[in-house]
Amino acid sequence: MNSFSNFGFGSETAFIPQEEMLEVQKHQKKLTIGIPRESDKYENRICLTPEAVEILTLQGHQIILENGAGNRADYNDLQYSEKGARIVKSPKEVYQSEIILKVAPPTEIEIEMMNAQQLLFSSLHLTTQTTERIQSMIKKRINAVAFEYLRGEANHYPVVRAMSEISGSSSILIAAEYMNTENKGKGILLGGTTGVTPSEVVIIGASTAGFYAARTAIGLGATVKIFDDSIYRLQNAQYFIGQNVYTSVIHPQVIERALLSADVVIGALPYEDSSSYVVSEDIVRKMKDGAVIVDISIDSSPCFETSIITNHGNPIFRKHDVIHYCVPNIPSRVSKTASIALSNVFVPLLKKISESGGVDQLIQQDYGLRNGIVIYKGILTNQKIGRTFGLPSQNINLLIASL
């Protein structure tokens, strides 16, 4: 018997030398990443923490940080320099970097400091954006990526999800704050206590933010009702939160009854579903005096007809004796937590850009990054932005195929 028969070889098997297979190493591009100090006085977050900077600098990337950029997130210049960042005083020097990471949308002055083909990562905030600013970035031929449109694993939006988790949890704490007597609220404890009925919380939208708001409210002892047009999202909420939450589709009469008895109402429509308000001014007028509305959806589109964008310096207003909190960047209230969450998204993404040989190469391969691009080589590539501001746009996939 042939000695190789146990391995499935016949007696006439020949062993032919094969070419040696060598592992092909990808060319890793060393990146220059600039982090400017935010000019928006209400923006306290930063995209990379000192720990994130250390990970990137150890891989050979250069981080240029404007002095004081991390102060509002409780990170000082020394912490960054010890982790390998180069601290500079001039914002112009930061804006010479290949990649710019900032949280707030760029101002006209910041756009002026940027260069053609530079890659900008920032939020877009459509509700606060202007046609002139979009046109300035197009004219500069900046490659702009909006946080809101970046997709990650499982086809979700990693930055939106991370910030939504924070916004959802924070919204309940904010509502509790404005219900107390010191803030001229109703003087009610959100969760109630022995012998006292717990407060009623209504959440419009079984989104990530809505889920985290519900979880926090229940943890504090409140009664929670969630409304959404998606049965699938309601089923998820019911499954993960449990039977101690009431769920319903958005039916005008049902939601109106719930709002009339609510102490707190959270507007948390999923980002992609936020196209028009759900609660009319007539319903708000009928709500309890001193009730609190927190409109998380103000980032994309108001959930309430009475909502008007506010800021951290002047966060609330009263309409029909109902307190409205309509700040677009709620996570900025907890800037350190939010900055760590942002770092968790951007470090892996920057590493992928490097390993791919550059952003142009990764755009070809990575649908998630491609989906986040709103301006590429001076061309608007997001149709929603084009419709909003009346500007011509092109499909990013067709554009890349033609280049």
In residues, how long is the chain?
A: 403
- Catalytic pick from 228, 295, 299, 366? 299
CA 200/CA 213 separation, integer angstroms:
13
CA 175/CA 226 separation, integer angstroms:
16
CA 40/CA 357 separation, integer angstroms:
33
CA 109/CA 364 separation, integer angstroms:
31
Token representation of residue 208: 């990530």
Q: Which amino acid is at 124?
A: L
- DSSP code string of 250-279: --HHHHHHHHHH-SEEEE---GGG-SS-SB
- Catalytic pick from 61, 125, 263, 324? 125
Q: Which residues contact 378 (CB under 8 A, 6 or more apart)?
A: 116, 138, 139, 140, 141, 142
Spell out the long-range contacts of 99-102 with Cβ–Cβ below 8 A and sequence spacing 24 or more: 99/31, 99/32, 99/33, 99/34, 99/350, 99/353, 99/359, 100/33, 100/34, 100/35, 100/36, 101/33, 101/34, 101/35, 101/47, 101/48, 101/346, 102/35, 102/36, 102/38, 102/47
Annotation marks residue 312 as catalytic = no
CA 250/CA 7 separation, integer angstroms:
66
Contact between 140 and 116 (Cβ < 8 Å):
yes
Contact between 147 and 121 (Cβ < 8 Å):
yes
- DSSP code string of 241-252: H-TTSEEE---H
Annotation marks residue 299 as catalytic = yes
Contact between 69 and 397 (Cβ < 8 Å):
no
3-state DSSP assignment of residue 145: strand
Catalytic residue set: 125, 299
